[in-house]
Amino acid sequence: DGFPAVKLFNQGYSYTYDDVIFLPHYIDFATDSVQLNTKLTKNISLSIPCVSSPMDTVTESYMAVAMAYLGGIGILHSNNTPSEQFALLESAKSRRIPFVSDFEVKSPADVIELSDFGYGTVILVTDTGSRKSRVLGYVLKSVWVNLKNKDGRVCDYMSKLDYSVPSSYHLDQIAGFLGDKGVKLVPTVRESDGEVVDVMTLEDIEKFQEYPKRGLPSLTPNGDFLVGAAIGTRDSDKQRLEYLVKGGVDAVVLDSSQGNSIYQLDMIKYIKKTYPGLDVIGGNVVTAYQAQNLIQAGVDGLRVGMGSGSICTTQEVCAVGRGQATAVYKVSSIASKSGVPVIADGGISNSGHIVKALVLGASTVMMGSYLAGSTEAPGAYVVQDGRRLKKYRGMGSLEAMTKGSDQRYLGDKSKLKIAQGVVGAVADKGSILKFVPYAMHAVKQGFQDLGASSLQSAHELLRSEVLRLEARTGAAQAEGGVHGLVSYEKKAF
Ligand code: XMP
């Protein structure tokens, strides 16, 4: 019944995730016993198969820390100067808690207005009003709104505070400190430069404890979070890489939309020679031929996808690419022979897509839009028509390229910029600490339906043709989605 993958994907069609569907198999284990632990590269293991995309509206230090806390990894984008990217890496490496604290800083002589609180609930008062000077006190929004005289200077009514904890403290150490001292909040301060990193409250800690179960965090032997970073393939990227290696980067991604190029092959060889211990992820590729070249050059991981991203226009602009299901299957079939893990990059918009990518041979999925709009994504929320939105843009969009990401889309220093991506916005999704564990549970259920108790078992079942799949017609896809309902207002019932 159904088709083995090798037959379905060799008929001359380019299939994407929605085009194909797996036939259910036999269940003889519980959902919770499904293991999603996997490999990012030959040498880096993760407890969940999730990677955040190196895009400037997706992965900066907060996202990288939260991804590693969940058991995945974040790849810091490179649409910045080498020192800015180094600062993101340093910040991610110095944190032990995945916390996005919205707090403002004032000096004692300042006067506060309601808007000064931003989205946060606390204003910290420091000597000079900078995050790098001595903390003197704080003002809680809840206290401030009830003050009779709000026009006075901050130092006249702030609560005094003369303690802090190192930013290398773990959640339970901070909870212990707050409990022992009997205080409401504590700033966490980076030891290396004295900068205030977060302001933690007991409520924050309780909130964490309510989040769903997650995998083991991705940590180095030193106890800091695993963090990846993107670089390009120009000579100037060698200097960028030198910085990143100093900052302790754990893997580098050569960020290119068509990775099978002389520039990338030379860069892989250079990195392997100069930093033999550093794992290199090459790509992007979508064919066995492209993959083979990068594998021979020595990559430790392959990133697969061309034009499948939600903000991509590469296939339309350049007429090149491949349906993502076909691309993942074809590249994984070759890469698995050399033990090179595959990252299925782009086109993930639900947990079913994650299941399909993983079963078709990928070891991890890389996500942009799925994680954009979350608390941990860079950028501020804007409110439009009553909805909170965050910007999400393609790195090949004119807007992003104006900032510098053009080298991903141009092999040379062409002056004409051709957009291969668009700029948009996505709705507020809340914290990834909340929704990624749910998605992982849904993925486990998908694996259970297929009778696959792990990624390795899924790959084996696919290879041995036990797992079967079919292409879906347009009508079958419509049937598989929500249909036949009309929208209604809750109060109507
Ligand atoms: P999703 O679907 O997760 O895709 O939003 C994220 C991936 O899309 C790629 N990317 C681009 N591709 N033009 C493109 O053709 C772009 O401007 C662009 N920006 C990002 C990238 O591989 C990312 O991980």
Rounded Cα distance, 292 and 435, in Å: 36
Token match 């990252």: residue? Answer: 343
More confident residue, 79 or 421: 79
The enclosing H or E element of 281 equals strand 279-285
Number of Cβ atoms within 10 Å of the Cβ of 153: 15
- Please tell me the pTM assigned to this model: 0.91
Catalytic residue among 96, 190, 393, 408: 408
Apex CA 278: angle with CA 272 and CA 284, to 5°?
75
Q: What is the pLDDT of residue 246?
A: 97
Q: What is the pLDDT of residue 414?
A: 57
ipTM: 0.97
Q: Which of 327, 352, 355, 353 is nearest to 342 (CA)?
A: 327
The enclosing H or E element of 124 equals strand 122-126
Task: Tell me if residue 134 is catalytic.
Answer: no
Contact (CB, 8 A) for 302 and 283: yes
Q: How far is the CA of 309 from the centre of ligand 1 (A)?
A: 4
Residues near ligand 1 (Cβ within 6 A): 53, 55, 257, 284, 305, 307, 309-312, 314, 345-348, 366-370, 394-397, 420-421
Token match 């990195």: residue? Answer: 271
Q: What is the pLDDT of residue 157?
A: 87
Residue 186 exposed, middle or buried by CB count within 10 Å (0-12, 13-18, 19+): buried
Q: How far is the CA of 367 from the centre of ligand 1 (A)?
A: 9
Is the pLDDT assigned to residue 314 strictly greater than 90?
Answer: no
Q: How far is the CA of 368 from the centre of ligand 1 (A)?
A: 7
Structure tokens belonging to residue 381: 């929320």
Is the pLDDT assigned to residue 136 strictly greater than 70?
Answer: yes
Least confident of 31-35, 98-102, 208-212: 98-102
Catalytic residue among 312, 322, 393, 468: 312
φ, ψ for residue 390, nearest 5 deg:
-125, 150
Is the pLDDT assigned to residue 315 strictly greater than 90?
Answer: no
One DSSP character per residue, 430-476 reads: B-HHHHHHHHHHHHHHHHHHHT-SBHHHHHHHHHTT-S-EEEPPHHH
Instruction: Annotate 268-307 with b (16+ C-beta within 10 A) or e (fewer).
Output: bebbbeebeebbbbbbbbbbeebbbbbbebbbbbbbbbbb
How much of the chain, in percent, has pLDDT values that exceed 90? 67
Least confident of 48-52, 213-217, 339-343, 460-464: 213-217
What pLDDT band is residue 115 in, cutting at 50, 70 and 90? confident
Ligand 1 pocket test, pick from 395, 417, 418, 422 with the greatest ligand atom count within 8 Å of Cβ, gives: 395
One DSSP character per residue, 36-81 reads: --EESSSS-EESS-EEE---TTT-SHHHHHHHHHHTSEEEE--SS-
Rounded Cα distance, 286 and 302, in Å: 10
Rounded Cα distance, 12 and 404, in Å: 37
Q: Please, what is the average pLDDT of the chain?
A: 91
Structure tokens belonging to residue 337: 């022979």
The closest-lying atom of ligand 1 relative to the alpha carbon of residue 306 is 15
Phi-psi region of 195 (alpha: psi -120 to 50; beta: other; left: phi over 0): beta
Residue 24 is classified by DSSP as P
Rounded Cα distance, 397 and 378, in Å: 17
Q: What is the pLDDT of residue 409?
A: 61
Is the pLDDT assigned to residue 133 strictly greater than 70?
Answer: yes
Rounded Cα distance, 346 and 368, in Å: 7
List pLDDT tens digits, range 387-404: 999 999 998 888 888 776
Q: How far is the CA of 54 from the centre of ligand 1 (A)?
A: 9
Q: Which of 335, 416, 440, 428 is nearest to 387 (CA)?
A: 428
Is the pLDDT assigned to residue 335 strictly greater than 80?
Answer: yes
Q: Can you tell me the mean pLDDT for 334-358?
A: 97
Q: What is the pLDDT of residue 184?
A: 86
Is the pLDDT assigned to residue 281 strictly greater than 90?
Answer: yes
Contact (CB, 8 A) for 203 and 195: no
Q: How far is the CA of 446 from the centre of ligand 1 (A)?
A: 25
Q: What is the pLDDT of residue 492?
A: 73
Token match 């989605």: residue? Answer: 481
Task: Tell me if residue 50 is catalytic.
Answer: no
Q: Which of 45, 456, 57, 409 is nearest to 251 (CA)?
A: 45
Is the pLDDT assigned to residue 232 strictly greater than 90?
Answer: yes
Apex CA 223: angle with CA 220 and CA 228, to 5°?
40
φ, ψ for residue 181, nearest 5 deg:
-85, -15
Apex CA 47: angle with CA 42 and CA 52, to 5°?
80
Q: What is the pLDDT of residue 187?
A: 93
The closest-lying atom of ligand 1 relative to the alpha carbon of residue 314 is 15
Q: Can you tell me the mean pLDDT for 467-492?
A: 87
Q: What is the pLDDT of residue 412?
A: 54
Q: What is the pLDDT of residue 484?
A: 82
Contacts of 64 (CB under 8 A, 6+ apart): 52, 73, 74, 75, 76, 88, 92, 225, 227, 228
More confident residue, 411 or 490: 490
Q: Can you tell me the mean pLDDT for 205-211?
A: 82
Task: Reduce the DSSP state of residue 106 to 3 states and report it.
Answer: strand
Is the pLDDT assigned to residue 307 strictly greater than 70?
Answer: yes
Q: What is the pLDDT of residue 413?
A: 55
Q: What is the pLDDT of residue 408?
A: 63
List pLDDT tens digits, range 401-441: 877 666 666 555 556 777 888 888 999 999 999 999 999 99
Q: What is the pLDDT of residue 23?
A: 97
Beta bridge partners of 76: 229
Q: What is the pLDDT of residue 415?
A: 66
Q: What is the pLDDT of residue 324?
A: 97
Q: What is the pLDDT of residue 482?
A: 82
Ligand 1 pocket test, pick from 302, 308, 311, 313 with the greatest ligand atom count within 8 Å of Cβ, gives: 311
Contact (CB, 8 A) for 441 and 31: yes
Contact (CB, 8 A) for 372 and 289: no
Structure tokens belonging to residue 265: 């092959």
The closest-lying atom of ligand 1 relative to the alpha carbon of residue 367 is 3
Q: Compute the chain's Rg from CA coordinates.
A: 24
Q: Which of 209, 224, 156, 161 is nearest to 187 (CA)?
A: 161
Q: What is the pLDDT of residue 213?
A: 74
Q: Are strands 45-46 and 38-39 parallel, antiparallel or unpaired?
A: antiparallel
List pLDDT tens digits, range 13-64: 999 999 999 999 999 999 999 999 999 999 999 999 999 999 999 999 999 9
How crowded is the C-beta side of 452, counted as CA atoms within 13 Å?
A: 29
